[in-house]
Amino acid sequence: MENKTFYNEVVTDHNMHPLHKHELEDPDIVLDGVNPSCGDEISLELKVDDGVITDGAFVGDGCAVSQASADIMLELIIGRTIEEAKRYSSLFLKMIKSEATPEEIEELEEAGALSDIAHMPARVKCAVLGWHTFDEMVKKLEQM
């Protein structure tokens, strides 16, 4: 019960009071992500300087889970290198598949609160939208 309460608090807080839901001025890369099964959509924007994510934001519409997860992701990856952020994304997706260890989930900080999503199949695509969009951005950055 305690974990569900924490999940509800984290999702509600990030959905109602997102820190990173706004447009960035002069982002280095922008990519849209869409979950066609439910209509969630985001536009993820990052500023990257010398391999470090210096700022990030998103705009979009969707359910509380998709919007909160994108905000939580940005909170975790801003200030990190692209390599560190890729590792967090990999851990998050591993957690969603119920394959992460408790130590790996703890590394995800607040994002670890979404671990119960693994048991809610209808919400998985919502939770991973921002993370998949980030992974696609990284592929584009690596091609630049």
The 10s digit of each residue's pLDDT in 33-52 is: 999 888 999 999 999 999 99
pLDDT surpasses 70 at 2: no
The 10s digit of each residue's pLDDT in 58-85 is: 999 999 999 999 999 999 999 999 999 9
To the nearest whole percent, how much of the chain has pLDDT over 90?
Answer: 77
At 104, the pLDDT band (50, 70, 90 cuts) reads: very high
Tell me what pLDDT residue 52 has.
97
**Cβ atoms of residues 44 and 58 within 8 Å:** yes
Q: Residue 121: which residues within 8 A CB-CB, separation 6 or more?
A: none
